[in-house]
Homo-oligomer: A and B are copies of this chain.
Amino acid sequence: MRHLLAFLLLLLSVVVPQAARADTGYDLWLRYQPLDRRQADAVQHRAAYLVAEGNSPTLAAATEELRRGMSAMLAPHSFAVAGSAMRNGAVVIGTPQSSPIVAALGLPLAKLGAEGYLIRSATTAAGARITVIAANQDVGVLYGVFAFLKRVQLGQSLDNLDIADAPRLKVRVLNHWDNLDRYVERGYAGQSIWDWQKLPDHKDPRYTDYARANASIGINGTVLTNVNANADVLRPEWLAKVKALAGVFRPWGIKVYLTARFSAPIELGGLKTADPLDPKVAAWWKAKVEEIYRVIPDFGGFLVKANSEGQPGPNDYKRTHADGANMLADALAPHGGVVMWRAFVYAAENPDDRHKQAYTEFQPLDGKFRDNVLVQVKNGAIDFQPREPFHPLFGAMPRTPLMMEFQITKEYLGFATHLAYLGTMWEEALQADTFRPTRGWTVARVLETPVEPGAATGMAGVANIGSDFNWSGSQFDQANWYAFGRFAWNPEARAEPIARDWAAMTWGSDPAIVDPIVAMMMGSREAVVNYMTPLGLGHLMATGHHHGPGPWIADLARPEWNPVYYHKADAVGIGFDRTATGTNAVAQYAPEVAAQFGDVKRVPEQFLLWFHHVPWDYRTRSGRSLWDELVTHYDRGVGTVAAMQASWEGLKGKVDDARWSEVRDFLAIQRQEAGWWRDASIAYFQSVSKRSLPTGHAAPPHDLDWYKAIKTPYAPGNGK
């Protein structure tokens, strides 16, 4: 006893100083906090040691993660990696190929595919009660291990387990809009975590933690570079750096992808053209792709932004997007690579409603893309606004693999300091019914259903990850990274349970912590919609950096860059008529959807001004006039933020002080900026509507010119 005590004192003396450090949030949702003693006893009864057979890098990663997580959570119980001793409490992980034990269990793995897993309680012939985590491939074992660790983190029972799960989409990727100088376009979390200058020689330990976090939520690919692409990343000295990252990520089931600048054959190859139908161009790409695969044998492929916002592309040579994508796809196909080709296009010389342009350009190309092309479509037709109706291309290209592009980074939702959980936004988009071909074909179902057996499916998320200690710029933005992974794994998922899982793992599983946090999260995106873009408004932000309100902006070179293009407020009313009397964008949807969106009586009020120009005195469903309803929404948004502040005050002392204080500060910034949006927007729209504010709603404290004069030129993330 005295020796034990002395040892504990010694151990304490070693570890206390580190424990005194403030919690930065670096550990994300993989905190592996010690369970309370009762829980630890119960878990240890079922999971006391690990039996891992096989020695692939992925199985080694799974083994180490399980050891690391369980050791931390079960302390002071130990959780050892044992040989193959099958006593009670063994956790056996492996595939039938890697593990004779797993093979002998004869598990029903067939339906799980390459990435699925199975977690089962079992009893050995000798009577030992064990848990098995099995899969067809090593990466499935890894995913199973993370699922098992999550159960333990959440305090869920390990008795009588019979779990089988597999991802519903094949390509689950992050898109990093990261430049080679570490500037992150639309990044609000510091610099790029890719420290190119020190690669390939120094592999920051953070790369491994990045891979662990992604693997824990099923992300299996990452596009390292900005869609506004730089051809230099395709040079040999840069491919050596990419190779180093790929080597770190590989054990975690993550492939690297790069953005391909369409004009690279000119810039790097010295060709006179990048015409995709020019044989020399195709040959250049073929050789470049072969070079890449020599360096990175499991390279994932290319993401391309072409003929969009100044990027070069096949249209420069009067070729179609399909011509461009297919040329790259042909180069990649022999190696198993894919092309993710963005549908985010709108042309400087096209006077048509920007909402319609992607559909107009891409829908006729349905069926014309190679099998290894995925067309990557943003959730809405404009650009990641706080709320947009679903993109009309979903369901409209039945012969083309479409993948979803969500934006995790909050370019239009307040940057890092606004608490906005995007799970609700994504659920809304995924559960929207396209009616193509018939009722029930939600966006999720469109995404999940391969255009033919074995065809590609996928989802991309524009990353919110940077060099900040907390990765995402704020503690709560970690939830958006987490939720993206969960939706990419299962587009049928729901935002609320995802928020609940994240909150419990990140802040503590006590319901007194989880419940108020989940409530804050679930209402948070609607708050942003209300104080920025209520009732179907959109694209009202300041120019360039997109920080703060700018509904009055009308002087930018291209019409569709100006907020006034979108809200069209005038003395009579407000809103963009996209019905048959206007641009008829509604006609791009299925007839059932078009009928609903196109009818001012039937359109969901949240999309009212997206599709209709409506008089200021239009009677909304609340009975209030549109003007009064608009003002009410602005105040409701600000009020929700104030309520979040009050909720957060109640959590003081229940969560660690460092993270609590950061969130408190950020909520104060959000409250202030929500008020800024509200006041500036009302001041502007009032200057147009000439209406007085409804009773009980305060006038903006300053006049419109005061708001117009606010400049924040150094706001982060501007696309340089």
Interface set of A (CB-CB < 8 Å, partner B): 1, 4-5, 8-9, 11-22, 26-27, 31-34, 68, 72, 75-76, 179-182, 190-191, 196-198, 201-203, 205, 232, 415-417, 467-469, 658, 661-662, 665-666, 668-669, 672, 712-716
Give the shortest distance, in Å, between A612 (CB) and chain B (any CB). Answer: 36
Q: B34 touching A16 by the CB < 8 A rule?
A: yes
Contacts of A179 in B (CB 8 A): 714
A-B contact pairs, 28 of them (CB 8 A): A5-B8, A12-B76, A13-B34, A13-B75, A13-B76, A14-B19, A15-B15, A15-B18, A16-B75, A17-B33, A17-B72, A17-B75, A18-B18, A21-B27, A182-B716, A191-B467, A197-B415, A197-B417, A197-B712, A198-B416, A198-B665, A198-B666, A198-B669, A202-B417, A202-B662, A202-B665, A202-B669, A205-B658
Give the shortest distance, in Å, between A12 (CB) and chain B (any CB). Answer: 6
Assuming the contacts A9-B8, A12-B12, A190-B191, asked whether A20 and B68 have C-beta atoms less than 8 A apart, the reply is: yes
Among B1, B21, B34, point to the contact of A14 (Cβ < 8 A). Answer: B34
The 7 A-B residue pairs whose C-beta atoms are closest, nearest first, are A15-B19, A202-B665, A17-B72, A13-B34, A13-B75, A180-B714, A181-B714
Contacts of A190 in B (CB 8 A): 190-191, 467
Bound form: Cα–Cα A15–B191 in Å = 31
Q: A197 touching B34 by the CB < 8 A rule?
A: no
Bound form: Cα–Cα A15–B20 in Å = 9
Contacts of A416 in B (CB 8 A): 198
Given A12-B15, A15-B19, 9 further pairs, Cβ under 8 A: A5-B5, A12-B75, A19-B19, A22-B205, A201-B668, A201-B669, A202-B662, A205-B658, A469-B469
Number of copies: 2
Give the shortest distance, in Å, between A576 (CB) and chain B (any CB). Answer: 31
Q: A202 touching B666 by the CB < 8 A rule?
A: yes
Q: B12 touching A716 by the CB < 8 A rule?
A: no
Chain B residue with Cβ nearest A20: B72
Give the shortest distance, in Å, between A37 (CB) and chain B (any CB). Answer: 8
Q: B665 touching A201 by the CB < 8 A rule?
A: yes
Give the shortest distance, in Å, between A81 (CB) and chain B (any CB). Answer: 16
Contacts of A22 in B (CB 8 A): 205
Q: B1 touching A17 by the CB < 8 A rule?
A: no
Bound form: Cα–Cα A268–B416 in Å = 30
Contacts of A232 in B (CB 8 A): 713-714
Q: B75 touching A715 by the CB < 8 A rule?
A: no
Chain B residue with Cβ nearest A73: B17
Bound form: Cα–Cα A497–B251 in Å = 46
Contacts of A712 in B (CB 8 A): 197
Contacts of A468 in B (CB 8 A): 467
Give the shortest distance, in Å, between A702 (CB) and chain B (any CB). Answer: 14
Among B16, B75, B716, point to the contact of A72 (Cβ < 8 A). Answer: B16
Contacts of A76 in B (CB 8 A): 9, 12-13
Bound form: Cα–Cα A536–B201 in Å = 31
Contacts of A11 in B (CB 8 A): 12
Give the shortest distance, in Å, between A124 (CB) and chain B (any CB). Answer: 31
Contacts of A205 in B (CB 8 A): 22, 658, 661
Contacts of A668 in B (CB 8 A): 201
Give the shortest distance, in Å, between A38 (CB) and chain B (any CB). Answer: 13
Bound form: Cα–Cα A27–B665 in Å = 24
Bound form: Cα–Cα A658–B205 in Å = 8
Chain B residue with Cβ nearest A18: B19
Give the shortest distance, in Å, between A586 (CB) and chain B (any CB). Answer: 39
Bound form: Cα–Cα A33–B13 in Å = 9
Chain B residue with Cβ nearest A657: B205
Bound form: Cα–Cα A15–B27 in Å = 14
Give the shortest distance, in Å, between A23 (CB) and chain B (any CB). Answer: 8
Bound form: Cα–Cα A31–B203 in Å = 25
Bound form: Cα–Cα A715–B195 in Å = 10
